[in-house]
Structure 1
Amino acid sequence: MADHERMASILGMPIIETPVLIIGSSMVGMTLSTLLAKHGIRDCITIERHSSTAIHPRAALFHPRTMQIYRELGLYEEMYAESLKHYDKHAGLHIVETLAGTHLGTYMKDINDGIENISPTHRLFLTQQMFEPLLRQHAIGNGAVLRFSTELVDFQHDQEGVTALIRSVETGEKQIVRAKYMVACDGNRSPVREKLGIKSQGHGLLSHSLTIYFDADLGKFVKDKYNGVIYVENEHVRGFFRLDKTGREGFLVVNTAGKKGTEDSRHPSIGITDEKAGEMLRAAIGADVDFRITHLSPWNAECNVAEHFNDGKIILAGDAAHVVTPHGGFGGNTGIHDAHNLAWKLALVLKGKAGEELVTKTYHDERYPVSKKTVDQVFERFVGRAAPDLFADDAEVEEEVPEPHLELGYQYHSRALTTNKLVSVTSDPATAKARPGTMAHHVLIKTKDREDEAYPVADLLGSDFVLIAGHEGSAWLDAAKVAVKNDSTLPELTTHQLTQDNTAFYKKYDVTTAGCVLIRPDGFVAWSEAKCATSGWGAMGLPDAEHTIQCVLKQILCITPERSVTRASSMASADSAIALPKDNGTVISMATEVSKRERALKQENDDLQRQLRENEERLAQLREFSELQDKMAMLAMRLDLHTVGMDPNELSKLA
């Protein structure tokens, strides 16, 4: 048994302790476990009720942001090579009347047209069936614990964590898992979300859709013409093919079928038979071709988002938090972005380097608006591409936002950033400035430790906080090193100084040659300072650069009571603008201002000390009740276990 499994026994049932229990080991759950292992949390447990990874070729289109994440994990080249075996690098999204018939247009002629200007990674097609074995091997190699053929029976949660009962699907053996956090990656019908009573909101059920898996040789219809996603639009069927470049691998998704605009047309999977599915497939191909249907998969087309992404220390991710139709490939990608946002936060909280609100508050605050926007945008694509006749002209359909804006231009606002408010959820990554709340937009840089080559800023990201200073900004780097050295509560911080030839970076990140940019482990700009650092004002009540950086980091990490860091940051900006006094009037004015600031800082310090005393009193009370609380939680769990087949005599003996 692994070292992390500390065994105990309740009613003869083993207890396993783990930092994080992940429910669901599809792409999202397995990616989260891999990212946690990368951040040093290697003893988490991921369970999956299926016996292995995906067996059907779902989720084919990977967005450039997603590929940046897998680039950080060292999987990009392997995924790219595997993709090229099956798909053209320049595949597109086309519209046809039938596969053998008229070409009606295109939604995206080349999925990678212009992408090199805004991302170090490309879009690519790679099915879940091909990808998940690669991810599984990588996850296990990095220390992730994956348990297939294992299901969640029940769970309880309290202020300290989650107690879950899990069971082997194959043997029926049960175990109790005690976790500090539980992440539900258990799909759009999430039993965890249902038990928590978290409702979903959005656009409801759009159609009873159908995926038809089949064997056929459709090569003559796609070779040298198009592969990837091919939308079908005719009087019999509306949906899309996903085919590889040989025309032999793929499937047909049917969103609506039959007479357009009718209620019946939105339920193609109801009462489905192989014969009916064959008629739909034949109508979509548009030619007399031999085929064999291998599997029919009915599913509900929905575009909805959960009202909340967490309940205490239970967190929703992937389809459990938001569900969309496949149009644009946003489902799996958005879930992977959830995992990327969450992993570094969990890791720092579990290591004692951040406050719990970094997980319990900022994850929802950042991911919910982006997910809501994505849900609404995918709904727009579903209406426009699959069912324009089913929705009234006054239906709440947003104007379509270009793919790059959704994939690389989404923005965050939370306490874990130094933003003031969220003006817009998306922006154009080609033209927008990289400021707090945005991704670290793509630009080539040269740093003093790699002067001989220009490389993507993304090369620096993915592990620690990163501070990048201009070629005249070494004072910020020195201050950062002092700040982290003098405060052991702060996490690792890596620093890099640019060389003089970095005009593109200064313009894109809106800083001067003496400024700096702080980027979080998930690649989002957390804070930036356009001007130079100053030192020596501490005795006058003004913050030195290292104090400013400490304040910034503590806000981002939710270590201090919630308050904006804008004050400290703006004061540092003011410092950089202060010149030596030239006359007595300036001296008096400065002395007055310093006095005001000293009084304000003293009051702020008194308030913090009072809050600290109050928190210590509350903690003392909680400690007195913690033992009783744990006993009550476990007693409740024992009663639950009684209902799932435990011996009443054994339970009565314990009582």
Structure 2
Amino acid sequence: MNPTPRERVPVLVVGGSLVGLSASLFLGRLGVRHLLVEKHADTSHHPRGRGNNVRTMELFRVAGAERPIREAASTLAGNHGILQARSLTGDEQEWLFKEIDPGGGLARISPAGWCLCSQNDLEPVLVRSARELGGDLRFSTELVSFEQDADGVTAELRSRETGERRTVRADYLIAADGPRSPVRERLGIGQAGPGDLFHNVSITFRAPELAEVVGDRRFIACYLTNPEADGALLPVDNERDWVFHAPWHPDRGETLEDFTDERCIDHIRRATGALDMAVEITGKAPWHAAERVAERYGAGRVFLAGDSAHEMSPTGAFGSNTGIQDAHNLAWKIAAVLDGAAGPELLSTYEAERLPVARETSARASARSAEHSHPGYAPAPGAGGGRQRGVLTVALGYCYPRGAVVGADPELPVVPDELRMTGEPGTRAPHMWLTGPEGRRSTLDLYETSFTLLSGSDGDMWRTAAKGAVQRFGVRLNCYLIGTEPDDDLAPEEGADWAEKHGTTPEGAVLVRPDGYVAWRAEGRVADPEAALAEVLEALLCRT
């Protein structure tokens, strides 16, 4: 390698799909200069990875990207539920679930909601948002090699258009380079789990007549169970363009070449029951469902995120969402270390928090595929569980019993059986609406670029403690007094009690991390708030 690097950046992101682009967006929001490289010439052109759960949309909301994402997703805004049917023209049909949020109860616990936005629509939004924040995104550029030492990472990059090579020196490298991650292999990090679950060929096709067959059944996906022509049908625009996932069995000697246009057209017709329907095949792409989780989330100054760290069954769309949440967790920690507010040991909490979540979530995703009898998946006997078991707890309720938290119950389940939004350390902070100078805001809107300390009307001592912590640690920390007194910063909606919502008292306080997770909670008055807060921050920021 060239011993004199030609470029210098704090963070190098390898991989420009959903997770890498999200990492770029989150780093940009925190003011972290970075370079992202992606070997492909452009974002994805194939409609896949469409389910964005409520937690992911909360992160995009505070990052300022929720509105353009929903605009990009407007075509499928009215699609809900999973339908299972022997065919679209027969009587054997059942909704596995018809509404993502029946009764609208989700609004009580989140300011965001689920969003059906295909990867080919979402990625361009992330590219624009990241570049507006100064992100240096380079497509047709691949990582050739890298080495790391105690002070940073030296990477060699190559332009796939010109062949030009250049050397980049970075403090940290984030590998979002997919399930066959060359970075993970270079680090020698193994994987654990059952491995391959099933294989599909994703077929994009044009069939205007299919809209009449589907009628008013606005599903996210329809699992078609004809044993001679099974598969999953997904709408692209509900009118002309569709996607069909056809089971592929390479273990039986099937090759991709076997999926000719004629075979695909016949399969789609028989699966849907529309035997005379005109079908035009517009594209094919193989994909593999697997359950694998990396044994470590990185080594030294190199970190894994997304599919490089975990592969999951697609049912429930947990894989991409978990990866985006990986990126968010890592971004604020890297920013804190680069700012000098935190010690480098803070970065070890990335694995401590996210690896257990990946293990639990990947197992739930496989169980969900078994519950739904996903076409092409033949699980081991007894796999699966109760229908819809723990969907929201996986998406929104995952916990961090260990990591950058103080006072968390070490026995707190990583994915609880019931949703716990009560302000416990290690859980996502509760949502409630507040009113202030900037209008109506969710508590979750307060968390992104800094730690946040919440207290009540009598919390002047906590405000003083926060100012002292900023001076002492150089940490980004905002303090808000919540109440109806003239000197309070934010007022809760009538009848709402912020302290009760957060499991504390008006004299107590709650410290929330930049990712919206409760870092620590004082459930009542303390003798020396400044000393208490300083002790907590020393532990959280690994400054001891």
Partner SS for 1:436: coil
Aligned to 2:267: 280
For these two proteins, the number of residue pairs brought into alignment is 528
Question: In 1, Cα distance between the equivalents of 2:382 and 2:61?
Answer: 43
Equivalent AA in structure 1 for residue 424 of structure 2: R
Of residues 219-228 and 300-309 in structure 1, the stretch that sits farther from structure 2 once superposed is 219-228
Give yes or no for contact 1:46–1:145 (8 Å, CA) kept in 2: yes
Equivalent AA in structure 1 for residue 432 of structure 2: V
Aligned to 2:488: none
Residue by residue over 1:312-342, the C-alpha shift from the partner in whole angstroms, topping out at 9 and shown as x without a partner, is 1110001000011221111211110001101
Of residues 433-442 and 501-510 in structure 1, the stretch that sits farther from structure 2 once superposed is 501-510
Out of 304, 323, 331, the residue aligned to residue 335 of structure 1 is 323
Q: Structure 1 residue 432: deviation in Å? A: 4.1
Which residues in structure 2 correspond to 1:548-563 (within 5 Å)? 548-560=532-544
Out of 64, 83, 86, the residue aligned to residue 97 of structure 1 is 86
Q: 1:532 and 1:83, CA in 2 relative to 1: closer, same or farther beyond 3 A?
A: same
Partner SS for 1:294: strand
Q: Structure 1 residue 471: deviation in Å? A: 2.5
Question: In 1, Cα distance between the equivalents of 2:235 and 2:357?
Answer: 30
Aligned to 2:489: none
Give yes or no for contact 1:222–1:247 (8 Å, CA) kept in 2: no
Q: Structure 1 residue 255: deviation in Å? A: 3.6
Q: Structure 1 residue 513: deviation in Å? A: 1.4
For the pair 1:22 / 2:9, whether they are aligned, the reply is: no
Q: 1:322 and 1:405, CA in 2 relative to 1: closer, same or farther beyond 3 A?
A: same
Question: In 2, Cα distance between the equivalents of 1:413 and 1:89?
Answer: 37
Q: Structure 1 residue 427: deviation in Å? A: 3.2
Q: 1:504 and 1:247, CA in 2 relative to 1: closer, same or farther beyond 3 A?
A: farther
Percentage of matched positions with identical amino acids: 36
Question: In 2, Cα distance between the equivalents of 1:50 and 1:546?
Answer: 51
Question: In 2, Cα distance between the equivalents of 1:513 and 1:502?
Answer: 15
Q: 1:163 and 1:429, CA in 2 relative to 1: closer, same or farther beyond 3 A?
A: same
Question: In 1, Cα distance between the equivalents of 2:254 and 2:296?
Answer: 30
Aligned to 1:579: none
Out of 443, 468, 481, the residue aligned to residue 454 of structure 2 is 468
For the pair 1:47 / 2:37, whether they are aligned, the reply is: yes
Aligned to 2:412: 423
Q: 1:90 and 1:391, CA in 2 relative to 1: closer, same or farther beyond 3 A?
A: closer
Out of 307, 323, 326, the residue aligned to residue 295 of structure 2 is 307
For the pair 1:437 / 2:421, whether they are aligned, the reply is: no
Give yes or no for contact 2:197–2:313 (8 Å, CA) kept in 1: no
Equivalent AA in structure 1 for residue 10 of structure 2: P
Aligned to 1:614: none
Give yes or no for contact 1:475–1:532 (8 Å, CA) kept in 2: no
Q: Structure 1 residue 391: deviation in Å? A: 3.2
Aligned to 1:59: 49
Residue by residue over 1:192-237, the C-alpha shift from the partner in whole angstroms, topping out at 9 and shown as x without a partner, is 1112111111121112221111111121133422232222222124
Give yes or no for contact 2:421–2:429 (8 Å, CA) kept in 1: no
Aligned to 1:317: 305
Question: In 1, Cα distance between the equivalents of 2:337 and 2:92?
Answer: 53
For the pair 1:80 / 2:70, whether they are aligned, the reply is: yes
Question: In 2, Cα distance between the equivalents of 1:222 and 1:357?
Answer: 54
Question: In 2, Cα distance between the equivalents of 1:14 and 1:479?
Answer: 44
Give yes or no for contact 1:446–1:499 (8 Å, CA) kept in 2: no
Give yes or no for contact 1:309–1:364 (8 Å, CA) kept in 2: yes
Aligned to 1:372: 359
Q: Structure 1 residue 268: deviation in Å? A: 8.2
Question: In 1, Cα distance between the equivalents of 2:256 and 2:304?
Answer: 29
Give yes or no for contact 1:59–1:329 (8 Å, CA) kept in 2: yes
Structure 1's unaligned 5+ residue stretches are 1-8, 535-543, 561-655
Give yes or no for contact 1:45–1:145 (8 Å, CA) kept in 2: yes
Q: Structure 1 residue 283: deviation in Å? A: 2.3
Aligned to 1:289: 277
Aligned to 1:151: 142
Q: Structure 1 residue 428: deviation in Å? A: 6.3
Partner SS for 1:462: coil
Which residues in structure 2 correspond to 1:258-277 (within 5 Å)? 264=252, 271-277=258-264
Give yes or no for contact 1:64–1:407 (8 Å, CA) kept in 2: yes
Structure 2's unaligned 5+ residue stretches are 485-493
Equivalent AA in structure 1 for residue 517 of structure 2: F
Which residues in structure 2 correspond to 1:528-543 (within 5 Å)? 528-534=521-527
Question: In 2, Cα distance between the equivalents of 1:67 and 1:143?
Answer: 22
Give yes or no for contact 2:369–2:377 (8 Å, CA) kept in 1: no
CA RMSD, 1 decimal:
2.4
Q: 1:268 and 1:16, CA in 2 relative to 1: closer, same or farther beyond 3 A?
A: same
Question: In 2, Cα distance between the equivalents of 1:273 and 1:456?
Answer: 52
Aligned to 2:514: 521
Q: Which has the higher helix share?
A: 1
Equivalent AA in structure 1 for residue 184 of structure 2: R
Equivalent AA in structure 1 for residue 521 of structure 2: S
Out of 108, 114, 121, the residue aligned to residue 112 of structure 2 is 121
Question: In 1, Cα distance between the equivalents of 2:495 and 2:368?
Answer: 39
Out of 59, 63, 69, the residue aligned to residue 69 of structure 1 is 59
Question: In 2, Cα distance between the equivalents of 1:202 and 1:377?
Answer: 13
Of residues 94-103 and 307-316 in structure 1, the stretch that sits farther from structure 2 once superposed is 94-103
Q: Structure 1 residue 455: deviation in Å? A: 3.5
For normalisation by structure 1, the TM-score amounts to: 0.76
Aligned to 1:493: 477
Question: In 1, Cα distance between the equivalents of 2:93 and 2:251?
Answer: 26
Partner SS for 2:428: coil
Partner SS for 2:73: helix
Give yes or no for contact 1:410–1:425 (8 Å, CA) kept in 2: yes
Aligned to 2:467: 481
Question: In 2, Cα distance between the equivalents of 1:298 and 1:512?
Answer: 55
Give yes or no for contact 1:200–1:305 (8 Å, CA) kept in 2: yes
Equivalent AA in structure 2 for residue 409 of structure 1: G
